[in-house]
Amino acid sequence: MSSPVRIGTRDSALALWQAQHVQGLLKEVGLESVLVPVKSTGDLNLTQPLYEIGVTGVFTKELDVALLNNQIDLAVHSMKDVPTLLPKGLSTAFVPERGSVLDVIVMKSDRLEKGNHVIATSSLRRQAQWLNRYPNDSVVPLRGNVQTRLEKLNKENWHGAIFAQAGLERLNLIPKNTLTLDWMLPAPAQGAIMVIGRTNDSQLLGPLKSLNHATTALCVSAERDFLRTLQGGCSAPIGAWATIDKDKMWFKGCLTDLDGKSHFVVEEVFDINTDDIGHKAAEILLHQKGAGELLNRIKE
């Protein structure tokens, strides 16, 4: 391609880090690129919790429109923000190797003392799993980019706030009072970046296939299939994590009530060549007594 590839990105520090990471990967296959920042609905509305905004793809829609309108050539997304069905005319260009999938809690002090705590997060998944483990705590909403949320934590009278470990690591912003929540199941595709292009742009998409990290792509595909089968958007308290060891995929997924009182878990090992692993895992979970009723209640 004679002219630089136009990479669309949100303009937060984390989004720009991810876009610059993709820029570096494009250079490896001989492609020069420029960044084109685009504001998203999720960035412009920082007062409402995400589940109240009621828009599919609050962090991705504007970039996808710019892509379809030929204003950019590629869009870089945090994969956990991307709806499980892409708009018509758009396809995955590649998925780079994933970062950490885990959540962490940043605490005001070096540890959480016994007693009732106030924990900040706007993720219903994090809220539900936290309350399932600590039913006497309370959860308050916290929106904004990573730096804004860290600043709010310092100002407010909260005991801690929950973040994705990958975001803090990428910005080199891990505070000293940070604890990894290895018991909390992440959002499907957490820690992964997704690069999207126009389906008919074979001249660009062709050279990018070599940048796809196969193991990451297989795992996030299973996690997103699990989410799609349960028909949960970003507002549903659904967690999923797939890992590969030789010819096996270990899959763990969960569905949790918003108040944490009901918690359904599926944990299975599949042969790597099994079709529809995420779908099968979701069906196993839904066969547990009460899981289907909970899912219907959450959707309502």
Distance between CA atoms of 46 and 203, rounded to whole angstroms? Answer: 38
Amino acid present at 38: V
103 a catalytic residue: no
C-beta separation of 78 from 193 below 8 A: yes
Give one DSSP letter per residue of 177-190, joined into a string.
SEEEETTSPPPTTT
Q: How far is CA 268 from CA 26, 63, 98, 230, in A?
A: 36, 36, 22, 17
Distance between CA atoms of 228 and 19, rounded to whole angstroms? Answer: 26
| Strand boundaries in 108-237, DSSP class E | 118-120, 138-140, 160-164, 178-181, 193-198
C-beta separation of 127 from 139 below 8 A: yes
Answer left, alpha or beta for residue 277, where phi above 0 means left and psi between -120 and 50 means alpha. alpha
Nearest by Cα to 96 from 243, 245, 220, 200: 220
Catalytic residue chosen out of the listed positions 73, 81, 201, 257: 81
Quick one: tokens of 167?
Answer: 């975001």
Active site members: 81
